[in-house]
Chains A and B, each alone.
Chain A
């Protein structure tokens, strides 16, 4: 009889320990998923920053490319070169000169 009481109480204890473990496990799982979710969100935001920054860099580079293209075209345009040449006192060539390569 004594044995049976002990066994019963032991069973109760075992059950309560198991349910506590179950709860803790669930809580930990929830916490884990929450952590993963938050981590992913943080990563997402970080990537968002990086993309925004990259887009800005791309925009600036594209702009620079256009500015350089414009500058190159302007500096090599016949109108500009003629003005520069005239300022330097250059004249249209009137005699043919053969250059040895």
Chain B
């Protein structure tokens, strides 16, 4: 009995001893030696994402996603020659180049960054020892070529290198977060209880003023015109005159920011703001503005066209057609160079120069994009008589397409020159607006009265002058054509067969909604702005009319194929709607009906009507299908077809 008791005591003592050991060890690890444990925690970076670039409607134009990249551990690769041979056709990299990388001594080397899904699949199937994938952020431009030069691109290190990406890099880049964690034996990460977690702050999102649909339509029209006229290049700008918001900015040849390395750096340039050109006759508007605003000329004053030939200091100036007596108005409508010189002679170079500067030529417009050019406008004191004469019809001076578009926008906007807006707002990663770019009036360039007079003359240019190709049935379009000679770099003189065709206009004249500037560089065989650039304006304007459902200024006659059939069909629809409405006692669908047809139905149903707008029914309240009640009022919203 005594022996058993002794043995039990020993066992108990052993248990107590080991329990105590465990407690001591736990105490040691948890309390005394905790600093060593703490040191085991390593700072783990939570990478942030670059902000998204959206268009004005929230359509993503640039977005960052993770893409696998392939790396190799050369020390772990047994047969580099064989592996290089296998990898070469998959990665589309030269075998020798791959072998050189694989033979290099070291633990890590990139073989190819940003693999495609197909490449990853093939490589995973091979399962080669010593090769691995690592996820890296990659910037994608889902609309590929769309507004490539405006958006710019980012380098492999995620830094913005051109366009919006570069200008707003500090907003887009974001801030990495971190936490302290410890990897256990199973590979799971445990967070340090003593260190706070700092979440990653993704880059801010940028909302541009661009409309991706209009931008696409602009690029398509521009591409078509360039191909048709075998031109060298071209630019188009579409902007809202009242706010200065740029809706589209296209430059041909386009470039895809997804593959920016494949394009020549020349194509990265946003030519519409970075390159200058001699505007030609589109510049006559500035001269006209100076003449009318200073009351030196009136639109109906007469001047002599010198029958198409005019000499100043041994320089001979010509007109396309020989003109005799012309009014100031007709000088612009028929784009007479000699007429413009005569206007310029009377107003004087200093006054003309003053208005050139007032319209913003020769200085940066202040657009939020890098690389903007000032333009080349020499001070008036340096102008000779020939220089002054040439400047009257837009030669001998150089401006950017954006400056020209903004000058026309100022006329459309009753003389107010606006600062261009390309970025509407910036929102942080929580969606809170941190910056908003409101319309900013730079100055009043000309009086409202002068702007009205110029608008009237520009309307006539499209109605009966050089810009007839821009006319849209039912809409009051105004604009001016331009055909400028280019300097031949070899001879240093104006080339007889190198021109810049342009058309700048806006519509509708009574309340201009958009200004469109079209510049086509070296079109062939025809080089007139009215033939080459005006149809591009028309195509873009028609798209905007359709996209925005703009009502016509006057009744329009639409030429529709199978018109009789369509009229018959629409009459049947009307009859059906009338029948349904009267028999069921429910609100009929009035969409698409004319006001008279809708009123007829509603009168039969004894419903009072409130009308808003003109055209056909585009909206109704109560909605179709609502049960009719006594004393019901129906609100009809009318709009364009």
Q: Does A48 contact B193, Cβ atoms closer than 8 Å?
A: yes
Contact of B155 with A by CB under 8 A:
no
Interface residues of A (CB under 8 A from B): 31, 34, 37-38, 41, 44-45, 47-49, 51-53, 55, 59, 62-63, 66-67, 69-70, 73-74, 77-79, 94-98, 100-101
Instruction: Tell me if B347 is interfacial: C-beta within 8 Å of chain A.
Output: no
Complexed CA–CA distance, A78 and B145 (Å)? 11
* Complex contact A73–B190 (CB within 8 A): no
| Interchain CA distance A41-B589 in the complex, whole Å | 68
Known contacts A34-B23, A66-B65; A52/B59 CB under 8 A: no
Taking a contact as CB atoms under 8 Å apart, the answer to whether A67 and B65 are in contact is yes
Q: Please, could you name 16 A-B residue pairs with CB atoms under 8 Å apart, sorted by A?
A: A44-B193, A45-B193, A47-B193, A52-B179, A55-B46, A66-B49, A69-B63, A70-B60, A70-B140, A73-B142, A79-B143, A79-B146, A96-B558, A98-B566, A98-B570, A100-B569
Q: What residues on B are CB-neighbors of A38 within 8 Å?
A: 26, 30
Residue-wise interface mask of B (557-582) relative to A, using a CB-CB cutoff of 8 A (1 in contact, 0 not) = 01011100010011001001000000
User: How far is B573's CA from A100's CA once the two chains are assembled, in angstroms?
Assistant: 7
Q: Known contacts A48-B181, A96-B560; can you find 12 more A-B pairs with CB under 8 A? A: A31-B23, A38-B30, A45-B190, A49-B190, A63-B66, A66-B49, A79-B144, A94-B561, A96-B558, A96-B566, A97-B566, A98-B569
B residues 103-151 touching A (CB-CB < 8 Å): 140, 142-146
Q: Is the C-beta of B64 less than 8 angstroms from some C-beta in chain A?
A: yes
Judging by beta carbons under 8 Å apart, are A98 and B30 in contact? no
B192 proximal to A (CB < 8 A): yes
- CA distance in complex: A52, B59 (Å): 33
In the complex, per-residue mask of B21-63: 1 if CB is within 8 Å of any chain A CB, else 0: 0010011001100000000000000100100000000011001
B229 CB to nearest A CB, Å: 21
Most buried by A among B140, B213, B576: B140
| Set of chain A residues within 8 Å of B628, measured between Cβ atoms | none
Q: Which 8 A-B pairs have the closest CB atoms?
A: A48-B191, A95-B561, A73-B142, A44-B193, A74-B142, A78-B216, A48-B190, A52-B189
Complex interface: chain A residues within 8 A of B212 (CB): 78
A19 to B66: give the CA distance in the assembly, Å. Answer: 68
Residue on B with the closest CB to A51?
B191
Instruction: Tell me whether B197 and A69 are in contact (CB under 8 A).
Output: no
User: Can you name the residue of chain B whose Cβ is closest to the Cβ of A43?
Assistant: B193
B65 pairs with A52, CB closer than 8 A: no
Binary flags per residue of B175-188, CB closer than 8 Å to A gives 1, else 0: 00001010000001
Report chain B residues within 8 Å CB of A51.
191, 197
Query: In the bound complex, do residue A37 and residue B30 qualify as a contact, i.e. CB atoms below 8 Å apart?
Result: yes
Size category, B interface: 35 or more
A-side contacts of B589, CB under 8 Å = 101
**Nearest-neighbor residue (CB-CB) of B558 within chain A:** A96
Check if A73 sits within 8 Å of B59, measured CB to CB: yes
Chain B contacts with A in 213-227, Cβ cutoff 8 A: 213, 216
Note all chain A residues with C-beta closer than 8 A to B179.
52, 55
In the complex, what distance in Å separates the CA atom of A96 from the CA atom of B26? 84
Cα A95 to Cα B569 in complex, Å, equals 14
Whole-angstrom distance between the alpha carbons of A98 and B59 in the complex?
Answer: 30
Chain A residue at minimal CB-CB distance from B66: A63
> Is there a chain A Cβ closer than 8 Å to B591's Cβ?
yes
Q: Of residues A45, A62, A67, A78, which shows the largest number of chain B Cβ atoms within 10 Å of its Cβ? A: A78
Q: Mark contacts of B184-214 with chain A using CB atoms, 8 A cut-off: 1 yes-contact digit, 0 otherwise.
A: 0000111111000100000000000000110
**In whole Å, how far is B569's beta carbon from the nearest beta carbon of chain A?**
5
- Smallest Cβ-Cβ distance to B217: which chain A residue: A78
State whether A52 and B181 are in contact (beta carbons under 8 Å apart), knowing that A38-B26, A70-B65 are contacts in the complex. yes
The CA of A97 and the CA of B565, in the complex, are separated in Å by 10
Q: Would B146 and A77 count as touching, CB distance under 8 A?
A: yes
